[in-house]
Amino acid sequence: MILGASIVTAIPQSRVQQIRSFLRQQDLQAWIAWRPDELLMLSGYFPFWGASLMICFADAEPVLFVPQIEPRDHIPAGLRVQDYSWGDLKCSDPYSALVSAAGNELVKARIQREQVGMNPSASRISLPIQAAEQIPIPEGFAGQLSPLTAKPDAKPQAAFADLYLRKTPEEIDAIRLANRVANAGLQVFFENLKPGIAEAEIAGAVESAIYRQIGRDGIFHSRGWAMVQSGPNSADAGRFNRSTGRHLENGDLVLIELATCVNGYWSDLTRTAAVGSPKAEVEQILAVAREAQQAAVEGVRPGVSAGDVDALARDRIAAQGLSSFFTHHTGHHVGFRYHDPGFLILPGESAKLEPGMVITIEPGVYVPQRGAGARIEDNVLVAESGHEVLSRIEGSMQL
Which positions from 211 through 250 interact with a copy of itself, judged by CB under 8 A? 211-216, 219-222, 225, 231-233, 236, 238-247
- C-beta separation of 393 from 180 below 8 A: yes
Q: Figure out which of the listed residues 131, 304, 318, 383 binds a copy of itself, where binding follows CB under 8 A.
A: 131
Residue 343 near residue 358, CB atoms below 8 Å: no
Count of CA atoms in the C-beta half-sphere (13 A) of 308: 12
Instruction: Give the three-class secondary structure for 339.
Output: coil
Taking the complex as a whole, the smallest distance from the CB of residue 90 to a copy of itself amounts, in Å, to 9
272 Cβ contact partners less than 8 Å away, ≥ 6 residues apart: 234, 253, 254, 255, 256, 286, 289, 373, 374, 375, 376
> Cβ of residue 367: shortest distance to a copy of itself, in angstroms?
16
> 61-95 b/e with 16+ CB inside 10 Å = b?
ebbbbbbeebeeebbeeebeeebbbbeeeeeeebb
Stretch that binds a copy of itself, among 101-109, 117-125, 173-181, 295-303 (CB under 8 A): 117-125
71/49 Cα distance (integer angstroms)? 9
- Residue 324, interface with a copy of itself (CB under 8 A)? no
Site for a copy of itself in 27-56 (CB under 8 A): 48-49
Beta bridge partners of 57: 30
CB of 385 to a copy of itself, least distance (A): 30
Q: Which is nearer to a copy of itself, 110 or 151 (CB)?
A: 151
Q: Which is nearer to a copy of itself, 153 or 388 (CB)?
A: 153
User: Which residue, 57 or 338, is less far from a copy of itself as judged by CB?
Assistant: 338
Per-residue binding string, a copy of itself, 51-90, x by CB under 8 A, is -----------------xxxx---------------x-x-
What is the C-alpha separation between 115 and 31, in angstroms, rounded? Answer: 9
Count of residues touching a copy of itself (by CB under 8 A): 78
CA 379 to centroid of chain Cα atoms: 11
Residues 223, 185: contact at Cβ < 8 Å?
no
Least distance in angstroms from the C-beta of 98 to a copy of itself: 13
Pick 29 or 373: Cβ nearer a copy of itself? 373
Q: φ and ψ at 229, to 5 degrees?
A: -130, 130
Which of the stretches 19-27, 114-122, 285-293, 389-397 binds a copy of itself when contact is defined by CB under 8 A?
Answer: 114-122
Instruction: Report the residue from 303, 347, 368, 386 that binds a copy of itself according to the rule CB under 8 A.
Output: 347
- State how far the Cα of 38 lies from the Cα of 116, in Å rounded to an integer: 16
Q: How far is the CB of 152 from a copy of itself (least distance, A)?
A: 8
